[in-house]
Amino acid sequence: MIEVRNLWHVYEGKKEALKGVSLTFGNEIIALVGPNGSGKTTLAKHLNGLLKPTKGEVIVDGMDTRKHSVAELARIVGYVFQNPEHMFFEENVFKEVAFGPRNLGLSEREVEERVEWALRQVNLEAYEDRSPYSLSGGEKQRLAIACILAMKPKYIILDEPTTGLDEKNTERVKEVIRKLYKEGHGILLITHEMDLVLELAERVVLLYQGKKAFDGDVEEFFGLDLREHGLDLPRLLTISKEAGLGFVRSVEEFVNALGMRI
């Protein structure tokens, strides 16, 4: 379990990015949403110790992040960065994904197995010899996910994993998220895409100006006045509400609800 207790973060220059956030999560898919600058990335970076609390505490499976190194915490909490292109430094995709597992001290064979498995999960198995910098935006995003998967962390944070991706790549990322969740990983999905929230999350946490403005069930979340927080309803929900069909989570559910009414 990850426990965030009364977390404050003040950046140098006195920017108060988080103001007393508390949150507990386990093996679930939580969507972390909120307008630009609301503190989502700042919160995420506390969960694997990249940032330390100015006040309050973050406890990861019983470990206080102030007392453990990022390397230790990264075995438990994987963080896929927003804008992952800044994160690559190896000459090819294989080495890039192998870096983490190698640092875990696994044998070369185990490392190889992990790399191949992780690349398969994101459909990049044919890219082993390519330079990470030669990949397209969507491929880089998937490579960043593979690098984290290869570490097999219990919790995985994805910071806007579908931004800039086309439909096909977005679908792939969704599939990976669903699969990881089924395998027992806890997922914290940071996103501006409400369609993704509707389809994937059971629970939603809304940050607003560094504070938690909502934490609860996805259906309840979409009952809020989202425009007040700079967010829009997903199109599917707008259509469904217009049609008087209420809350649905997928096109399939919408069609079923429509069929029942006809």
Binding site for ligand ATP (CB under 6 A): 11, 13, 15, 17, 34, 36-42, 82
Nearest approach in angstroms of CB 50 to Mg ion is 13
- For residue 180, the one-letter residue type is L
Residue with Cβ nearer ligand ATP (38 or 162): 38
Residues of this chain, 71-100, that bind Mg ion according to CB under 5 A: 82
Shortest approach of Mg ion to residue 36 CB, angstroms? 8
- Long-range Cβ pairs for the range 197-202 (8 Å, 24+): 197/31, 197/33, 197/221, 197/234, 198/222, 198/234, 198/236, 198/237, 198/249, 199/174, 199/249, 199/250, 200/29, 200/31, 200/174, 201/29, 201/30, 201/31, 202/28, 202/29, 202/30
169 contact, one of ligand ATP, Mg ion, none, CB 5-8 Å limit per kind: none
CB-nearer residue toward ligand ATP: 139 or 160:
160
The neighbour count for residue 171, using CB atoms within 10 Å, is 12
Q: Which is nearer to ligand ATP, 50 or 63 (CB)?
A: 50
**DSSP codes, 135-181:** S-HHHHHHHHHHHHHTT--SEEEEESTTTT--HHHHHHHHHHHHHHH
**Which C-beta is closer to ligand ATP: that of 34 or that of 153?**
34
Distance CA 168, CA 180 (A): 19
Binding site partner of 105, from ligand ATP, Mg ion, none, Cβ cut-off 5-8 A by kind: none
- Identify which of residues 42 and 240 has a Cβ nearer to ligand ATP in the complex: 42
Nearest distance in Å: CB 43, Mg ion: 9
What type of residue sits at position 138? Answer: G
Which residue, 95 or 137, has its beta carbon nearer to ligand ATP?
A: 137
Binding of residue 162 to Mg ion (CB under 5 A):
no
Describe the strand order of the beta sheet including 2-11 as a list of residue ranges.
Answer: 15-25, 2-11, 55-60, 63-64
| Interface residue with Mg ion, options 9, 17, 25, 41 (CB under 5 A) | 41
CB of 41 to Mg ion, least distance (A): 3
Instruction: Using the minimum distance from each CB to ligand ATP, give the nearer residue, 33 or 145.
Output: 33
CB 28 within 8 A of CB 36: no
- Interacting partner of 209 out of ligand ATP, Mg ion, none (Cβ under 5 to 8 A depending on kind): none
Least gap, CB of 47 to Mg ion (angstroms): 13
Residue 226 touches which member of Mg ion, ligand ATP, none, C-beta under 5-8 Å by kind: none
Contact stretch for Mg ion (CB under 5 A) within 32-40, 90-98, 125-133, 162-170: 32-40
**Footprint of Mg ion (CB under 5 A):** 40-41, 82
